[in-house]
Structure 1
Amino acid sequence: MADTATVHLVRHGEVHNPQKVLYGRIPGYGLSELGKQMAQGIADYFGDRAERGRPVHLLAASPLQRAQETIAPLAQRLGLPVLTENRVLEAENAFEGLSNVKRHLRTPKYWPLLVNPFRPSWGEPYKQQVERVLQAVKDLSDRALAEHGDGAEVVVVSHQLPIWVTRLWAEQRPLWHDPRQRECTLTSVTSLHIGPAGVESVSYSEPNKELSKQALALPGA
């Protein structure tokens, strides 16, 4: 039987963003106090699993501050280094840096950005996001399998949109979607189960479900 691995794509915790800016890839946006609690919750979730015989073998995170801060407590608990993985970075977005994006959409100069929501025309194509995340998933799972064998597990902290479109691809659903319908809450875990054919199934969990209910609905996450 061929070896299998699991790559857990974790969305980062809540960000301190009182101005409600669509922060995207802008540096300097770290976790709020609630976000730090969420990060500790993720450390407890995977740390407890490890103590029950389901260890994590490899850690990686987007280079953005909110992702690095989310994975830090887990790295400390497990005593593992964190690989910085640029391929799971937040998606590019032409509205980055704006607050109250809905108001700006009424301005004619932004209308050309809205011509093709299926691509989407205002940012990095969904297909391109999936391709780069899958490349990272393959490389990380291959490394974990080579070093630790069958059943190896990897935790990767990333961002909502790249995680969600990757899940849509894995479940053979259209990549275009209503952002309000994304099932990818703060510090949720989207697990890609890897087999000989690549991603063979997906599972989803919310270790911090109660904390997520307290979070603000902020843009740019």
Structure 2
Amino acid sequence: MATLILLRHARSAANGSGTLAGRTAGVGLDETGRVQAEGLAGRLSGIPVSALVASPLQRCQDTVAGLAEKLGVPVAVEDRLAEVDYGQWTGRAVKDLTQEPLWKVVQQHPSAAVFPGGEALAQVQARAVEAVREHDRRISGEFGPHAVWVACSHGDVIKAVLADALGLHLDGFQRIVVDPCSVSVVRYTETRPFVLRVNDTGGDVSGLLPPKEEDSGSSSSDAVVGVRRVPEPELWGVRDLVGFFGGRWRLERKIVDAAGVRIGSFSGVAVFSPVEWGLEFREEGLLELGAHRGPAHRCLHYRVSGEGRADVYFDYGTFFHDLDLRTGLWRVGHPCRDDEYRGEFRVWDRDRWRQEWTVVGPAKDHALFTDFVREPGGS
């Protein structure tokens, strides 16, 4: 059967305002959401998407519009993937809803939750699962068993589909996290669904492609016994740092704590400007960290020291780390008082690269994952 990419819509104006939008008309994306949506084509580059299916609500349609144009694939509207009908809860502030007796039911026993004037969460799961399985059969029949397709829907709807695929009772679906513009991947087979990825907000997702068939004697419905090695995308060596980095990049940063729990994010634009000694790097965007939400920026100086190499300094003159991307991979450490920064740089191709920093110590204990995608015409 085909491979399904479950895409939650990018961040909407309602996500930022703390209200339950539900099926309210006219709720589009906010600035962060528009940046997230613009980065989708880069994240899914190299994935041969055969079909796009989306909820009829504006925030989903806005999320996939640019992707559909880039791929040349029409968007099929599917009402069964629409947001939960929250009934009388629609449009209310979440902080007020937490005081309602039904809130505890939604959180602790969602299979019994029925929204006043709306629908039951069990009904949501039934319609959504029916829709994705029906489309999966159709797309597999039309494009073959290795087809990949995208379904753009809403947080609770996707969580309900994932719970079904995981064999998890609906009462456990609140354990699943689905962030705005995240992708989760399911491959249905004759025997069982395989859940390949959940809540991925990073850049490269080429690893979700179906593996090449091997003459192993086993069915594609069989689970792998033992350890299966999943190959990483090939790296792309850089010889000319100024030529590669120069220009504008969209960036998405995920911040997680030591337990891997997401605690923040940063979405924005990075610009590398050629200067006499190399490159000046500036990033600007929206930082969300805990209760804080606001604009943020920083500046670094990349002092080119040779082919594919540079010494990176903070803009106030302090050395940060060295860099050598001739193989497309570089690992580096940076002490900061009692804390230790460990960095990794990976270049996938001329338009995509990733930066990871893990910070360990008494003052900080978290990790930052940043994906950069070159803006069209940004070089």
Task: Please tell me the TM-score bracket, short chain as reference.
Answer: 0.7 to 0.9
Q: Tell me, which stretches of 5 or more residues in structure 2 are unaligned?
A: 204-251, 255-263, 267-286, 291-379
Alignment-derived partner of residue 43 in structure 1: 41
Note the alpha carbon deviations across 1:20-67, whole angstroms, 9 max, x for none. 321111011000111011112222111x123xxxx0100011000000
- For these two proteins, the number of residue pairs brought into alignment is 203
Where does residue 59 of structure 1 map in the other structure? 52
Correspondence 1:210 to 2:208: no
Give the TM-score normalised by the residue count of structure 2.
0.49
Determine the structure 1 residue equivalent to 2:195: 201
- Out of 83, 92, 96, the residue aligned to residue 90 of structure 2 is 96
CA distance in 2, matches of 1:103, 1:138: 36
- Point out the more displaced range, 76-85 or 208-217: 208-217
More strand by share: 2
- 1:112-191 correspondence runs (5 A): 113-114=102-103, 116-117=105-106, 118=109, 119-122=112-115, 124-177=119-172, 179=174, 181-191=175-185
Q: Deviations over 1:98-127 (max 9, x none)?
A: 12x333554xxx54x457442213353332
Q: Secondary structure at the match of 2:49?
A: coil
Larger RCO: 1 or 2 (CA < 8 Å, sep 6+): 1
CA contact (8 A) 1:140 1:154 kept: no
What is the Cα deviation at residue 178 of structure 1? 7.7
Deviations 1:120-154 (A, max 9, x none): 13353332222111111122112211221120111
Read off the aligned partner of 1:210 and give its amino acid letter: R
2:171 is matched by which residue type in structure 1?
A: W
Q: CA deviation at 1:197?
A: 3.2
Distance 2:24 2:80 in 1: 16
Q: Using structure 1 for the length normalisation, give the TM-score.
A: 0.81
- In structure 2, which of residues 63, 77, 83 is the aligned counterpart of residue 84 of structure 1? 77
In 2, distance between residues paired with 1:198 and 1:135?
15
Compare CA radii of gyration and give the structure with the larger one.
2
Q: Secondary structure at the match of 1:57?
A: strand
Distance 2:26 2:63 in 1: 14
CA distance in 1, matches of 2:163, 2:182: 16
Whether the aligned pair in 2 keeps the contact of 1:8 and 1:156 (CA below 8 Å) is: yes
The 1:79/1:177 distance shift into structure 2, 3 A limit, reads: same
Cα distance in 1 for partners of 2:171, 2:79 equals: 23
Structure 1's 104 and 194: CA in aligned 2 closer, same or farther, altered over 3 A?
A: closer
Matched residue, 2:31: 33
Aligned partner of 1:7 in structure 2 is 4
Contact 1:6 1:152 in 2 (8 A): yes
Q: Distance in 2 between matches of 1:201 and 1:19?
A: 32
Q: Secondary structure at the match of 1:121?
A: coil
Residues 161-170 or 23-32, more deviating: 161-170
In structure 2, relative to structure 1, the CA distance for the partners of 1:132 and 1:97 (3 Å cut) is: same
Work out the CA distance in 2 between the residues paired with 1:131 and 1:85: 14
Helix, strand or coil: the match of 1:176?
helix
Equivalent residue for 1:73? 66
Q: Note closer, same or farther for the CA distance 1:148–1:171 as it changes in structure 2 (3 Å cut).
A: same
Change (3 A) 1:131 1:206: same
Please, what is the CA RMSD of the aligned residues? 2.4
> Distance between the aligned counterparts of 1:38 and 1:114, measured in 2?
30
